[in-house]
């Protein structure tokens, strides 16, 4: 059976179930114990599991991830929580040069199955706390990078990450923790951390996105449906390894593509998706690919200015209208 729960509760269930079934699973990070975590995912865990398994760390991201990598190499299953993805910059060397490369550099003699939980997002957090770096980590061989949207994916991916042998960048979004969705009521529910998912079928245009962008795409698709425009919505959800074949297959049907992301468009994830579709389905495109992203500026603190930086439902609708108005075959571009 399935029941409807929030993203936050789905993560909490996954962590609790894996901690109950495997004593090697430990949590570590800033304020995750007594405070319950910045986004309240680990509230109550300190009382349940004690200080040896729920470790409040100093404000030292390099030390948090470095310790977690060493623990993982020694047989533990650490979940290193970084308060936001902005702070992962301080642990970049440990993530990119150690966690990601350990297996290859030692010919499989060592693995570092560390799960790095972190949150992307914004909300009057200003320029240094509102950045979107999933593209940076998706660039790195040796890492798995997931950025799910639905509660079911959050739970299924987290459980798989804690049972697998790969280092995982598990990127959440601070603005969707309250979003609700159906999750199977099953302690053994897992999902393979691979593959994009067609969430809504349509015939006129494909919209590809992930995380919060998926919700923008779905909202835009529902509004456009009232006008007879049917959008096919694809949730990319796993950014490394990235499933561009599903997008290309959809484009062969719809002949048009809009890619939606909250990051900067220059050298972003959307660029990779667009390039892959050009390679795999160029002859099927009836219009240039439209890309939606944030304005390429440091994010302002002012609420109205901040909202102007990031895409919303209307931005996506405008992009769909733009791509539908163009036609390569009639030179109407």
Does 272 qualify as catalytic in the annotation? Answer: no
- The rounded Cα 11 to chain-centroid distance in angstroms is 13
Cα distance between residue 112 and residue 98, in whole Å: 9
Task: Answer yes or no: are the C-beta atoms of 257 and 299 closer than 8 Å.
Answer: no
Between strands 77-82 and 25-29, the pairing is parallel
3-state secondary structure of 17: helix
**205/230 Cα distance (integer angstroms):** 7
**Beta-strand (E) ranges in the chain?**
2-6, 25-29, 54-56, 77-82, 115-120, 144-146, 168-173, 180-184, 197-200, 205-209, 231-235, 238-240, 257-264, 290-294
Catalytic residue among 13, 18, 30, 61: 61
Torsion of CA 62, 67, 73, 74, to 10 degrees: 170
Of the candidates 72, 78, 153, 149, the one whose C-alpha atom is nearest the C-alpha of residue 117 is 78
Rg of the Cα trace of the chain?
20
**Cα distance between residue 296 and residue 31, in whole Å:** 32
Active-site entry in 129, 154, 173, 204 = 129
In this structure, the number of other CB atoms found within 10 A of the CB of residue 333 comes to: 10
Residues paired with residue 234 on neighbouring β-strands, in sequence order: 198, 208
- In sequence order, what are the beta bridge partners of 169? 116, 145
Report in angstroms the alpha-carbon separations of 325 from 205, 216, 253, 288. 11, 21, 17, 11
The C-alpha atoms of residue 159 and residue 147 are separated, in whole angstroms, by 14
**139 an active-site residue?**
no
Residues annotated catalytic, as ranges: 61, 129
């Amino acid at each position: 059976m399935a029941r409807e729960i929030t993203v936050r509760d789905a993560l909490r269930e996954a962590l609790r179930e894996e901690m109950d079934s495997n004593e090697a699973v430990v949590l570590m990070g800033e304020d995750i114990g007594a405070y319950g975590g910045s986004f309240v995912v680990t509230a109550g865990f300190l009382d349940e599991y004690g200080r040896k398994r729920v470790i409040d760390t100093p404000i030292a991201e390099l030390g948090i991830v470095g310790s977690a990598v060493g623990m993982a190499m020694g047989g533990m299953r650490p979940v290193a929580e970084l308060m936001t993805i902005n702070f992962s910059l301080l642990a970049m060397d440990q993530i990119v040069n150690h966690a990601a490369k350990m297996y290859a550099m030692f010919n499989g003699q060592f693995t570092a199955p560390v799960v790095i939980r972190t949150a992307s997002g914004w909300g009057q957090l200003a320029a240094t706390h509102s950045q979107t770096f999933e593209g940076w980590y998706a660039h790195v061989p040796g890492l798995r990078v997931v950025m799910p949207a639905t509660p079911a994916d959050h739970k299924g991916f987290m459980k798989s990450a804690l049972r697998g042998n790969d280092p995982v960048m598990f990127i959440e979004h601070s603005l969707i923790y309250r979003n609700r969705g159906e999750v199977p009521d099953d302690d053994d529910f897992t999902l393979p951390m691979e593959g994009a998912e067609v969430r809504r079928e349509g015939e006129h245009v494909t919209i590809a996105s992930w995380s919060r962008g998926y919700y923008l795409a779905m909202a835009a698709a529902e509004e456009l449906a009232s006008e007879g425009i049917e959008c096919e919505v694809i949730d990319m959800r796993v950014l490394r390894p990235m499933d561009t074949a599903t997008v290309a297959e959809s484009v062969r049907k719809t002949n048009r593509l809009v890619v939606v992301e909250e990051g900067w468009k220059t050298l972003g994830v959307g660029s990779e998706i667009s390039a892959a579709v050009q390679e795999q389905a160029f002859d099927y495109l009836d219009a240039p690919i439209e890309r939606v992203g944030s304005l390429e500026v440091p994010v302002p603190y002012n609420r109205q200015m901040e909202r102007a930086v990031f895409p919303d439902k209307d931005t996506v609708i405008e992009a769909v209208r733009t791509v539908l108005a163009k036609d390569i075959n009639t030179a109407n571009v």
